[in-house]
Structure 1
Amino acid sequence: MEHLEIERKFLVRSDMYKQEANSQERIVQGFLNTHPERTVRVRIKGDAAFLTIKGKSNQAGTTRFEWETEINIAEATNLIDLCEEVILEKNRFLVPLGNHVFEVDEFLGENKGLVVAEIELQHEDELFDRPEWLGKEVTGDVKYYNSQLSKKPFKDWL
């Protein structure tokens, strides 16, 4: 199937990734739909905006359908006004390592204090280098999905 996203997700145990990052970008995103079978996301990332549809993850939580198209920022801003509950805000750091790039999201607002790293892979059992700041794997743990952070933010986990 085309448009498959294969990724693994980890907690981050130190801010050493900031020294290794080659770029940083602010992201604002909301969800028009967070049904368990599909999510529809609106994202403003720097000076670009996107509409993304994601399907249900496989049992391991590593693979799912993803379709994305660029939209203009005015459209995205209007759509964010229609989104569910909490709008996510985060700073994303891109950290190259070997043949891969880790996307490290430092959440802000109601999810402040949560830092998660994701790595996209070509196949589920692909090997990759693990930086020392990479912590516990949370791939497949639904509470770390952005769609769920918009419903039950990190600040409410206690």
Structure 2
Amino acid sequence: MAFRIDDMDRKILGELQRDAGQSLDEIAKNVGSSKTPVWNRIRKMKEAGIIGQQTVLLDAEALGFEATFFVLIRTSEHEADWQNKFLSALRDRPEVQEAHRLAGDIDYILKVRVKNARAYDVFYQALISEVKIHNVTALLSMEELKSTVSLPL
């Protein structure tokens, strides 16, 4: 049976997306409820898989990661063996923040966060030494205009 969320669940999720570090008392106050019902709803949504891993968002630039590259990959390889090797190579590299398999002319797109262009080249050289790739295009983001992990509830 699918878990159904109601308006109160949406309010709670909105508060958690805004700041998951809030106390239960703060969340309850902000959604117009009390602590125990909010805790029960959060627990149920965790059990249902609606709420996943909780983490902290870091300021990449403050930590010296000033370059974001979007890497477009075309491959002539589509066998399971190649895909497993490629996926393993991506998982082993913390610079890869996102990886998507696409429909269309481009097979994959990666979001790669590094300190600078030289660090990107090190990443690129390591990747192509492990996995055969037909074509790679790297696009440097000049400015991040919007970034969010929040869903439009």
TM-score by length of 2: 0.31
**Whose helix fraction is larger, Structure 1's or Structure 2's?**
2
**Whose strand fraction is larger, Structure 1's or Structure 2's?**
1
Structure with more contact order per residue of length (Cα contacts < 8 Å, sep ≥ 6): 1
Based on CA coordinates, which of the two structures has the bigger radius of gyration?
2
TM-score by length of 1: 0.30
